[in-house]
């Protein structure tokens, strides 16, 4: 029980993500979270602006319910299933983050230097969140999937487009982490 | 009631993403710095088991809950769309430290500023849909 309340190691978490995917496959569905962003556009009336959003969104309600569950799961995990252990980051990561001006890296799930309301309500802070979210939403639909749809479901199905997309994810991620973040967060 | 099973799967997914720390901005930073095996272990073990079980499902002809044959939904081909779209996604993933599953989970954990990221991601999806026919795929 004590270990259950601590963060779970990768060899517990990884197989459980496979389990989630297999359950959805057994239900006759696929595993892909970014489709929900497209469904939400469709519900909001985006079909008026592009045929891309003209589809019967009601056939995608199941996936919105999965996301609703994921929100509830997030709430349950932090409220009842955690002992608020700090994240066991590598010492190199902590040093690198401190160099960029981050305080107490790993104390919470997210850095207050990006996500606290003080920062978010500044011009730079809100610009970071809007640009980041926009890139995620635009890129995922352009590539036809995200971490769940391409990296987990697509690779599990040995799909070549997913392998190319995951290479793309890393090209973008490495550029951001190694070259852009040091420009944004300078002390 | 037919949606209850999806709600339960979602709850499991949300709990796993928090308990694995895969929702953490710090873990994504660490992954792109190649400074820990953690995220590679999660994705690697998940994909390895996924390959094995999906192969088994097909080999044994296991049917879905509705009695239908389980088939792979093919991903769309195209080097430009997958590589360029993927790279754009990667830039956002490393900046926000979150992808389209975790951004919702994090709202549940109480990080409500994530709602701004979600709204921007919906906007990004919308803009892609509008520009789709003008972009190289």
Q: How many CB atoms lie within 10 A of CB A121?
A: 10
Q: Does A136 touch chain B (CB under 8 A)?
A: yes
pTM of the model: 0.96
Which of B14, B29, B94 has the CB atom closest to A71's CB atom?
A: B14
Q: Does B47 touch chain A (CB under 8 A)?
A: yes
DSSP helix/strand/coil, B117: helix
Q: Does B9 touch chain A (CB under 8 A)?
A: yes
Task: Identify the CA nearest to B72 among candidates B50, B105, B45, B93.
Answer: B50
- Cβ neighbours of residue A24 closer than 8 Å, sequence gap 6 or more: A30, A31, A66, B9
Rounded to the nearest integer, the mean pLDDT of chain B is: 96
Split at pLDDT 50, 70, 90, the class of B73 is: confident
Split at pLDDT 50, 70, 90, the class of B2 is: confident
Q: Measure B115 CA to nearest chain A CA, in Å.
A: 10
pLDDT tens sequence across A116-152 = 999 999 999 999 999 999 999 999 999 999 999 999 9
> In A101-176, at which residue ranges do the beta strands (DSSP E only) sit?
none
Cα distances (Å, whole numbers) of residue A35 to A45, A79, A170, B48, B126? 16, 28, 21, 24, 12
Q: How many CA atoms lie within 13 A of B128 on its CB side?
A: 32
* Stretch 29-58 of chain A: residues touching chain B, C-beta under 8 Å: 30, 33-34, 36-38, 40-41, 44, 46, 49-50, 52-53
Residue B71 predicted with pLDDT over 90: no
């Amino acid at each position: 029980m004590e270990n259950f309340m601590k963060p779970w190691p990768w060899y517990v978490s990884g197989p459980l993500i496979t389990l989630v995917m297999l359950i959805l496959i057994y239900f006759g569905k696929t595993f892909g979270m970014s489709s929900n962003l497209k469904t939400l556009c469709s519900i909001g009336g985006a079909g008026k602006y592009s045929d891309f959003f003209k589809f019967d969104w009601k056939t995608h309600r199941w996936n919105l319910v999965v996301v609703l569950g994921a929100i509830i799961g997030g709430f349950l995990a932090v409220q009842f299933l955690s002992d608020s252990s700090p994240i066991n980051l590598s010492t190199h990561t902590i040093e690198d983050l401190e160099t960029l001006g981050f305080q107490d890296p790993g104390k919470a799930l997210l850095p207050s230097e990006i996500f606290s309301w003080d920062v978010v309500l500044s011009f730079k802070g809100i610009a970071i969140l809007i640009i980041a979210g926009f890139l995620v939403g635009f890129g995922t639909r352009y590539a036809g999937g995200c971490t769940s749809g391409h990296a987990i479901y697509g690779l599990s199905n040995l799909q070549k487009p997913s392998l190319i997309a995951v290479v793309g994810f890393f090209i973008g991620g490495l550029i951001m982490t190694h070259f852009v973040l040091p420009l944004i967060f300078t002390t | 009631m037919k949606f209850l099973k999806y709600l339960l799967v979602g709850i499991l997914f949300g709990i796993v993403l928090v308990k694995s720390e895969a929702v953490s901005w710090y873990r994504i930073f660490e992954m792109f710095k190649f400074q820990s095996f953690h995220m590679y272990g999660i994705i690697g073990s998940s994909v390895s088991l996924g390959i094995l079980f999906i192969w088994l499902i097909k080999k044994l002809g296991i049917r879905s809950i509705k009695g239908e044959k389980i088939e792979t939904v093919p991903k769309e081909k195209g080097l430009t769309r997958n590589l360029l779209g993927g790279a754009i996604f990667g830039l956002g993933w490393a900046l926000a430290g979150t992808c389209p599953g975790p951004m919702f989970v994090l709202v549940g954990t109480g990080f409500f500023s994530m709602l701004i990221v979600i709204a921007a991601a919906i906007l990004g999806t919308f803009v892609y849909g509008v520009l789709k026919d003008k972009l190289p795929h």
